[in-house]
Structure 1
Amino acid sequence: MPSAERASLTYAFDAYCAWCYGFGPTLRSFAEANAHRIRLGVLSAGLYTGARTLPIAAYPHLSAERDTVTRLTGVTFGTGYDRAVSRGTTVLDSAAAAAGLAALRDQPGISELDAAEAMQREWFVDGRSLSDAEVYRDIAGELGLDADAVTAAYSAPSGRVKARADFRALRRLRVLSYPTLLLDTPQGADRMGDAGSTAASLTSALDQRLTTFLPLATPLPQALTHNLPSQGDPS
């Protein structure tokens, strides 16, 4: 399928969402298997925003959630994450993380999925705060990006503007839980998968939908924009 005819998908995720981290290997397998016929964009959700922007100690359920995600998805959490949870001082701020994703996403040639995965490794493996500009400098180096451009974009006020735009976009799309994978169609966004999906089930869902919908060549506009509910997929 020529590039111009690739189906456009939108992945709704939050960098601090353990269920999104657990869904990562499934989404990666699906994306690689279907790389010839899809284009994948990533929008940030607002799991920890406003009054929920608190130190991790305010969320004691996260330790149990970690075990459940590992049991159901097979992903492993790093010792850095375990230390961060034990200390309890890291402030979970999804707006800062969304600004970081926006800074990475805006760089030429970037894979948005690569950027999202790199951010989640920084938190769920190494336990580094996604409010730290140095995290994005290191991710830029890992992904072969201009580190100065990334950190400047993260620190600029426009980064938070783009973060809020992502939140509003998912709200308008009525995304009520995450991770969620959407197929962008002329009739609107069609929910295709979530944390319970497998790579095979996602491919099957794509096959079915491509016989029904004419895929869009470009992602849904990021100017559509939200303030998502405060829960990821339940454990």
Structure 2
Amino acid sequence: MKLVYVFDAYCGWSHAFSGTLQAVTARHPDLPVEVISGGLFTGQRRVPIREFGFIKDANVQVTARTGARFGEAFDRLLDEGSFVMDSEAAARGLIALRQAAPARAAELAVAMQNAFFHNGSSLSDPDTYRAIATDFGLDADAVVAAFESGRPEEDFQRAARLGVSGFPTLIAVRGSDMFALARGHATADEVEERLTALSQR
């Protein structure tokens, strides 16, 4: 069995799921985790962040429901309003990091979200991935080169084939069978209960 985590690096609810993901992977270190990027902000949705007037209120709800925090640098980015969230670039970044350390994909996805939602770093900026790669002891030059050449549509198509239309989604895959463990927010204990039930089938 393995886990498949479908998220979007610019999704606040995916950011809120980071703690759950970390807890689940810590409890099951031998369970492989594949991470796939969704395409939340692509095409006509690639506009200045001020166009999404709901984000600030949504983040208040995220914090109230999950305890997830957003950094001052991110809040400044939100208040200034001109930043453009580009999920294609973020997906290329995940692909680059994932290629460098496949077994650490879940950790790297969390690091990407921390870079944006805490530090206000652009996920379209190669330097963001250079910094993450350096923090994780990876070949930063190789990661940046892979960022420039990644093919995000492959991740988006894979998410669609899995039937995922909302982020985050955590799926258990056993053979040819798939089981949803979380759609949107879930606690680590809730995911654990579903994994236990699955193991008894």
Could you say which TM-score interval applies, normalised by the shorter chain?
A: over 0.9
Count of residues in correspondence between the two structures: 201
Residue 105 of structure 2 aligns with which residue?
112
Residue 12 of structure 1 aligns with which residue?
6
How far apart, in 1, do the equivalents of 2:184 and 2:19 lie? 11
- 2:189 matches 1:200: yes
How far the C-alpha of 1:186 sits from its partner, in A, is 2.3
- 2:181 matches 1:187: no
Return the structure number with greater helix share: 2
How far apart, in 2, do the equivalents of 1:211 and 1:50 lie? 43
How far the C-alpha of 1:110 sits from its partner, in A, is 4.7
* Unpaired segments ≥5 residues, structure 2: none
Identity %: 37
Residue 75 of structure 2 aligns with which residue?
82
How far apart, in 1, do the equivalents of 2:103 and 2:27 lie? 19
Superposed, 1:64-143 pairs within 5 Å as 64-108=57-101, 110-143=103-136
How far apart, in 2, do the equivalents of 1:184 and 1:74 lie? 29
Say which is worse superposed, 192-201 or 97-106, in terms of deviation. Answer: 192-201
Q: How big is each residue's C-alpha offset from its partner over 1:3-61, in whole Å with a ceiling of 9 and x where there is no partner?
A: xxxx201001000000011111011111101224x111100000001111111111111
Say which is worse superposed, 169-178 or 94-103, in terms of deviation. Answer: 169-178
- 2:37 matches 1:48: no
Aligned-CA RMSD value: 1.2
How far apart, in 1, do the equivalents of 2:175 and 2:108 lie? 27
TM-score if structure 1 supplies the norm length? 0.83
Give yes or no for contact 1:20–1:179 (8 Å, CA) kept in 2.
yes
Residue 31 of structure 1 aligns with which residue?
25
Alignment counterpart, residue 199 of structure 2, candidates 210, 214, 220 = 210
How far apart, in 2, do the equivalents of 1:196 and 1:65 lie? 13
Give yes or no for contact 1:22–1:195 (8 Å, CA) kept in 2.
no
Q: Which runs of 4 or more aligned residues in structure 1 lie more than 3 Å from their structure 2 counterparts after TM superposition?
A: none
How far apart, in 2, do the equivalents of 1:99 and 1:109 lie? 14
